[in-house]
Structure 1
Amino acid sequence: MSPLQISAYTATCAVGVGKEALADALAQSRSGLRANDFGDAPLPTWIGRVEGVEDVRLPEPLAQWDCRNNRLAWMGLQADGFVEAVAAAREKYGASRIALVLGTSTASIGETELAYTRLDAQGMFPPEQRRAAVHTPHSLAMFAQQLLGISGPSETISTACSSSAKVFASAERLIRLGLADAAVVGGADTLCGSVLFGFNSLELVSSEPCRPFDAARKGISLGEAAGFALVERVQTGTDAAPLHLLGYGEASDAHHMSTPHPEGLGAERALDEALARAGLAPEAIDYINMHGTASQKNDEVEGALVARRFPARTHASSTKGFMGHTLGAAGIVEAVISLLAIERGLMPGTVNTHTLDEGFGPQIRLEPARGEVRYALSNSFGFGGNNCSLVFGKAA
């Protein structure tokens, strides 16, 4: 495929707001996980909660969209000059030529949960919660479109944990087909009762900080995050950006609602497609951001896949131990980490993990490392076999 440049990018998660906070945590192997304090009866688990979400007050023109998910999106969009970068693109291309593709798995369901706890005598939402658009999966995209002042094609992608990775694939198609000149991609997901108790009912939640690929791993730690990127055709001269999206691969193996294919067939197909579109062999990849949730099956399948497909020198890690599994926002946050690895030569380690499972190869590293990262691969493997791999690289 023809590369797309990443003109701006940002992420906000449990380790802080924006790229600098994230890069510092990755360099210091500092986890943002904490004992669960979410809800009236917190589950005995650990979470990646973003500080300050409750304190956000949306400006009056956007007040109709108020909910926890959109507040977190607001925080994320204000970081790293991202809103200003989109404004410059809007001036360059026109508002109708900038697409918006966002991923989320819960959207504003936390607000809907709250509304159901306040039903009146007739069983209706209270007046302040009768905001139909807020209680829909497209709430995040409608909010972001108004905030950014763009009016091109708008999509919400909800494919579980791969949601905000697949946004890059959709954006590439929109731009290649001439439906847009640039696209804002990303996603946001926040903690809520449905998420915490839902994953707990599947017996996937750990009672301690998650330990990806550890021999004694006990499950996932849930988190929340918002991340965004501005992608456009590769420019020349002063408008050229040094970071590019080189390839993507998607596959749906549909093996099971919540368990990956035992041989990782869908995951491997997505990986192969991403490398093929980028025109690269596995040996070219310097860093892999693995999906690495710390669940028994996910780590078993992905660990085996990386071990058989990549040379021992490849530096691979899971960053779930820094901010938790941020659900529909996981893909964009880990894409941002991959971009930081290329931009800064920083390959993160795998925090909280002590002893790697014997079934995994030497590619998985516990400690961070420095060195040139020419190409990075980011894996996002979701429920239902919704798999996506992304390849990022430096401009030629």
Structure 2
Amino acid sequence: MTQDDTGVAVTGMGLVTPAGADEPTFWAGLCAGRSVARSIDELAGLPVDFACRIDGIDLDQAVGERTVWRMARFVKLAVIAARQAVADAGLSPAGWDGSRVGVVLGVGVGGVSVLIDNLRKLDDAGPEAISPLLVPMMIPNAAAGEVAIALRAHGPSLATATACASGATAIAVARDLLTSGRCDIAVAGGAEAVLTPLVVAAFAKLGALSTRTADPAGASRPFAADRDGFVMGEGAAMLVLERTADARARGGRPRALLAGAGSSTDARHPTAPEPDGRGAQQAVEAALDQAGWAPREVDHINAHGTSTPLNDAMETALVSRLFPHRPSVTAPKGVLGHTLAAAGAIEAVATVLTLEHGVVPPIANLDALPDGFGLDCVTKEPRRQDVERAVSHSFGFGGHNVALAFERA
């Protein structure tokens, strides 16, 4: 048995993003390298009134079940992405042993919009007006639970919450479930939908958001000298993971190999990353060690790239120090905005697509790097590149760091 046969394979992918609600549309939008940020009516009057919102899909119709009424928006996104991923893998809940199927789903905030709506009802009409489904709709693990129900998955069902690294953490945990033998199939990823005035105003008050209200499409500018904060987004992405030998035995198509995953914690500050990136480097090195790679073997990096002054400087220091051979770098948040808990999973999909297509999408709105940023950032247009090995970075408030190492199948 080869090393490939003993590892973990990505056999299916699904996603719903501001750039597209299916894989081909998403990939085309990412490769176009143009931000989809725009002014949002619901945010009118706020200091930051723009975001990257999902349009062009009827979520209720896409879920297509009578139970849709009990799902918050982030749950609907997760269910849609999970079904896409399972279909892409050539699997069906009707044909698998559900006791051997696990679900791991990262969520950062949960159904805050449902909570806000019911708080208004409480203020306006008293406790009798509150929905009896408020609790099961707003709790962060609602997405993992509803995905498990939709897929008839009776194995481990977990909700990971590591802020903006949650989706990547879910994928790393799912890999562990497979390698430990606790399940045979894992559906893993992340979902987030919090484009409400309260949450956007809170991030703006924190100083995390770009304030380019006159130019929303130019606001998210990862690694640019004049970056001033991130742009809020929403979305979901799910991956089907299987042990490679199992996937090949059933005639499945490994789209990429999840060769390694690493995690660490800065243990320094609740919102600011460690400036020199040493904590993040620990996660990347753990992923490389698990994959059995030397840093020089990495061809491409899908950066966390939030467009904030602190993150991009930290990530530049990390990449420059650990990868002096200058692998290509992209940052999808320039196009998509920051989808918070979904970001790591969406960017995992983008990394797999880069391996498959031999194309690195450009970073939106990046014209020139600041002095001292010695990265090989892909800009302006997609770059053709034979990528064999790639690493995807995810970092979150609380000092959470996750790195995923993907290899071409």
Give the TM-score category using the shorter length. over 0.9
Return the offset for 1:129: 5.0
1:322-341: CA deviation from partner (whole Å, max 9, x where unpaired): 11000000000000000000
Q: Tell me the distance in 2 between the aligned counterparts of 1:78 and 1:181.
A: 18
Report how far residue 107 of structure 1 moved. Answer: 1.5
The farther-off stretch of 140-149 and 95-104 is 140-149
% identity of equivalent residues: 33
**Which position in structure 2 is the counterpart of 1:68?**
73
Q: In the alignment, what sits opposite 1:19?
A: 23
Return 5+ residue gaps in structure 2 as ranges. 213-218
Equivalent position of 2:203 in the other structure: 199
Q: Shift of the alpha carbon at 1:89?
A: 5.6
Any idea what SS the aligned residue of 1:231 has?
strand
Structure 2 distance, partners of 1:27, 1:173, is: 32
Judged with a 3 Å threshold, the aligned counterparts in structure 2 of structure 1 residues 124 and 39 are, in CA distance, closer, same or farther, namely farther
- Pairwise mapping of residues 265-304 of structure 1 onto structure 2 (< 5 A)? 265-304=278-317
State the partner residue of 1:49. Answer: 53
Q: Distance in 2 between matches of 1:55 and 1:19?
A: 16
* Structure 1 contact 95–152 (Cα < 8 Å) conserved: yes
Q: What's the TM-score once normalised by structure 2's chain length?
A: 0.90
Change (3 A) 1:121 1:96: same
Aligned to 1:310: 323
Quote the residue 2:11 is aligned against. 7
2:59 matches 1:88? no
Q: CA-atom RMSD, angstroms?
A: 2.1
1:359 aligns with 2:372: yes
Q: CA deviation at 1:177?
A: 2.1
User: Aligned equivalents of 2:105 and 2:55: distance in 1?
Assistant: 22
Contact 1:312 1:362 in 2 (8 A): no
Q: 1:278 to 1:250 in 2, by over 3 A?
A: same
Are the structure 2 counterparts of residues 55 and 178 from structure 1 closer, same or farther at C-alpha, using a change threshold of 3 Å? Answer: closer
CA distance in 2, matches of 1:362, 1:171: 31
Residue by residue over 1:4-32, the C-alpha shift from the partner in whole angstroms, topping out at 9 and shown as x without a partner, is 01110122211111110121122222322
**Is the CA contact (8 Å cut-off) linking 1:45 and 1:206 kept in structure 2?**
no
CA distance in structure 2 between the partners assigned to 1:150 and 1:55 by the alignment: 22
Asked whether the 8 Å contact 2:101–2:153 carries over to 1, the reply is yes
The residue number in structure 1 matching 2:189 is: 186
Aligned residues: 393
Question: Which segment is superposed worse, 194-203 or 162-171?
Answer: 194-203
Mean CA deviation greater in 380-389 or 42-51: 42-51
Question: d(CA) in 2 for partners of 1:325 and 1:189?
Answer: 10
| Gap regions ≥5 residues in structure 1 | none
Q: Which residue of 2 aligns with 1:159?
A: 162
Paired residues for 1:90-105 under 5 Å:
90=93, 93-105=96-108
- Is 1:386 the counterpart of 2:391 in the alignment? no
Match of 2:354 in 1: 341
Alpha-carbon distance between aligned partners in 1 of 2:90 and 2:142, rounded to the nearest angstrom: 21
2:156 & 2:28 partners in 1: Cα distance? 35
Distance 2:98 2:86 in 1: 13
The one of 140, 148, 153 aligned to 1:150: 153
Question: 2:129 — aligned with what?
Answer: 126
Greater mean alpha carbon deviation, residues 363-372 or residues 37-46: 37-46
Contact 1:115 1:129 in 2 (8 A): no
Distance 1:313 1:78, change over 3 A: same
1:247–1:392 contact (8 Å) kept in structure 2: yes
Task: Please identify, of 255-264 and 311-320, the stretch whose mean Cα deviation from structure 2 is larger.
Answer: 311-320
Letter in 1 for 2:73: R
Cα distance in 2 for residues equivalent to 1:128 and 1:99: 30
Contact 1:103 / 1:188 at 8 angstroms: preserved in 2? Answer: yes
CA contact (8 A) 1:188 1:329 kept: yes
* Residues 13, 89 of structure 2: 8 Å contact kept: no
State the shift of 1:229 in Å: 0.5
Q: In structure 1, what residue type is equivalent to 2:222?
A: P
Cα-to-partner distance string for 1:89-130 (whole Å, 9 max, x where unaligned): 645640111000000101211111111111166742625454
Equivalent position SS for 1:388? strand
